[in-house]
Chain A
Amino acid sequence: MRITRYAATLAALGLALAGCSSNAGNQAQDTSAQSTSAVETNVSFAPGTTMAKLHDAGTITVGTKIDQPGFGLLNPRTKVPEGFDVEIAKIVAGKLGIAPESIKWTETVSANRESFIQNGQVDYVVATYTINDARKQLVDFAGPYYEAGQDIMVANGNPLKIESPDDLAGKNVCSVEGSTPAQNIRDHYPQAKLTLFDVYSKCADALDNGQVDAVTTDNVILTGLVAGSPDKRELVGKPFTQEPYGIGLKKGDTEFRNFINDVLEESFTDGSWAAAWDRTAGKITGQKAPEPPQVNRY
């Protein structure tokens, strides 16, 4: 009797919670099956290099995000993340002779990417990772493989008429603590009131609930969130920064960086980059693959 009573309560609580998860996960299907990044079977690398080490191990650990539709989103059925970042990581792994099934995925969030790379918990990070000078002190970047820009997401219909970051003064703006967009708002638009969570999906929920007026981060992340719930959310669509996304790897491993850069350039020209885009982010935005960026061998 007692046990049934408690169980009923817990079930009720569970139902209430299930109602408030973000809809962003709903379009996680479809992309997994036709992932077709080629796996090189006949490759060899100079002994002692990271490439040789990974190739011999036959497995690799990649850091990515698992809550960003279109770039890195965990598919709850397959337990494997899907998205553009994931495809890029697979292309690189494929050139090392490692099949997608042999990739171990690790969630990295904005705040822990450097430490995960430095500590060797991941071999490289493909996680909407903006290349900037402060980060270059700690890790090395290959790429960029995509250029995003900071944008604003508002409630559908834009009731507060937010058209640019200047309109954010006095408004509640949501972003993620420890991310570049949040710092950018602090530095350049200090009159905006920042609400900071640890993941963007919470920001989207808060926007739906009316707890914040706007969400700001890179446009590609917002596009995915809008696609998850187009009747509730809307993108302003005027990016106001440039965010080149790179692949983060251990500082000083120049051979590995050059290798990844070569792989990226090859994928730009042979069409696998554009194909990866069309399979993932392109599906959500409905736009064709943009021009690939210029790899920066700094």
Chain B
Amino acid sequence: MQFLIDNFALFRDAFLTTLSLSLLAGVLALVLGTLLAALRVSPVAPLRGLATFYVETFRNTPLTVVFFFMIFGLPQIDFVIGFFPGAVLSVGLYTAAFVAEAVRSGINAVSAGQAEASRAIGLTFGQTLREVVLPQAFRTVVPPLGNVWIAMIKNTSIAAGFSVSELSSLLPRLVNANAGDLLTVLLGVVVGYMLITLPSAYVVHRLERRVAILR
């Protein structure tokens, strides 16, 4: 316990880094993922192809490889990006592919009659998606999006290998200096992640019950 108190500042900074990395990457993933889902159901074939290409590329590439590409690959073509922004981009771009698939499943769950009716009263494709389909789609995909979000928070730990001092990076750092306190360090790190994931799970659960559609 004393050990955790002594290193409180370190744990706090690392926790805040993980939190801000998660939030920034989460927003990026949600926005980009929704856009990609819209493209995947678009009537324009090249846009559909583009979105499919994106989703399949990122969904089938290990996150570590995405990180490597972002941090060490891009500088080779003279495009140097900071370590933290690089981590946000890596996690965000990667997770967007999963968000896109979750949202697309939600769009598919909205009955075709809804979209047909919207078109029949003269709404454009964009309006149909925005005003009618997506609001209903999001309601059905709260649980899968919650899963993606929690998985993403844990995925941010890969940033530790790429010079972002987030929670997991405390493990090698503190264990090296205080190898006897291995379990305490582990406990502190796990608690740090749970401080983000457990409230997230609770919020997702509440949200799910509030917006659920009874069909």
What is the interface of chain A, defined by CB distance below 8 A to chain B?
5-6, 9-10, 13, 16-17, 19-20, 109-111, 114-115, 134-135, 137-138, 174, 177-180, 182-183, 195-198, 202, 205-206, 209-211
Name 15 extra pairs, CB < 8 A, besides A6-B57, A9-B53, A178-B173: A9-B57, A13-B69, A20-B68, A20-B75, A115-B179, A134-B179, A138-B179, A177-B172, A178-B172, A180-B176, A182-B173, A196-B165, A202-B72, A209-B72, A209-B80
Docked Cα-Cα span, A16 to B74, in Å, equals 9
Tell me, yes or no, whether B122 is within 8 Å of chain A by CB.
no
- A-contact bits for B151-192, CB 8 A (1 contact / 0 none): 000000000111101000101110111111010000000000
Docked Cα-Cα span, A138 to B181, in Å, equals 11
Given the known interface contacts A13-B69, A110-B172, A197-B162, the answer about A137 and B179 at a Cβ–Cβ threshold of 8 Å is yes
B window 57-88: CB within 8 A of A: 57, 60-61, 65, 68-69, 71-73, 75-76, 80, 83
Docked Cα-Cα span, A198 to B160, in Å, equals 8
Given the known interface contacts A195-B163, A198-B161, the answer about A205 and B72 at a Cβ–Cβ threshold of 8 Å is yes
Tell me, yes or no, whether B56 is within 8 Å of chain A by CB.
yes
The reply to whether A198 and B182 form a contact with Cβ atoms under 8 Å apart is no
Given the known interface contacts A13-B69, A16-B73, A19-B73, the answer about A178 and B175 at a Cβ–Cβ threshold of 8 Å is yes
Docked Cα-Cα span, A186 to B162, in Å, equals 19
B window 20-74: CB within 8 A of A: 53, 56-57, 60-61, 65, 68-69, 71-73
Docked Cα-Cα span, A119 to B71, in Å, equals 34
The reply to whether B180 and A138 form a contact with Cβ atoms under 8 Å apart is yes
Given the known interface contacts A115-B182, A137-B180, A197-B163, the answer about A19 and B175 at a Cβ–Cβ threshold of 8 Å is no
Count residues of B near A (Cβ-Cβ below 8 Å).
31
In the complex, chain B residues whose CB is within 8 Å of the CB of A180 = 176
B window 114-170: CB within 8 A of A: 160-163, 165, 169
Sample of 11 A–B contacts (CB below 8 Å): A10-B60, A16-B76, A20-B68, A111-B175, A134-B179, A177-B173, A183-B176, A195-B83, A196-B163, A206-B163, A209-B80
| Closest partner residue, chain A, to B68 (CB atom) | A17
In the complex, chain A residues whose CB is within 8 Å of the CB of B80 = 209-211
Closest 9 CB pairs of A and B: A178-B172, A111-B172, A209-B75, A178-B176, A20-B72, A198-B161, A114-B179, A177-B172, A195-B163
Docked Cα-Cα span, A13 to B57, in Å, equals 10
Query: How far does the Cβ of A192 sit from chain B's closest Cβ, in whole Å?
Result: 14
The reply to whether B163 and A17 form a contact with Cβ atoms under 8 Å apart is no
Q: A17 contacts which of B53, B56, B69 (Cβ < 8 Å)?
A: B69
In the complex, chain B residues whose CB is within 8 Å of the CB of A110 = 172, 176
In the complex, chain A residues whose CB is within 8 Å of the CB of B73 = 16-17, 19-20
Docked Cα-Cα span, A183 to B177, in Å, equals 8
Query: How far does the Cβ of B183 sit from chain A's closest Cβ, in whole Å?
Result: 11
In the complex, chain B residues whose CB is within 8 Å of the CB of A196 = 163, 165, 169, 173
Docked Cα-Cα span, A135 to B176, in Å, equals 8
Query: How far does the Cβ of A22 sit from chain B's closest Cβ, in whole Å?
Result: 9
Docked Cα-Cα span, A183 to B75, in Å, equals 28
The reply to whether B83 and A16 form a contact with Cβ atoms under 8 Å apart is no
| Closest partner residue, chain B, to A18 (CB atom) | B73
In the complex, chain A residues whose CB is within 8 Å of the CB of B171 = 111, 178
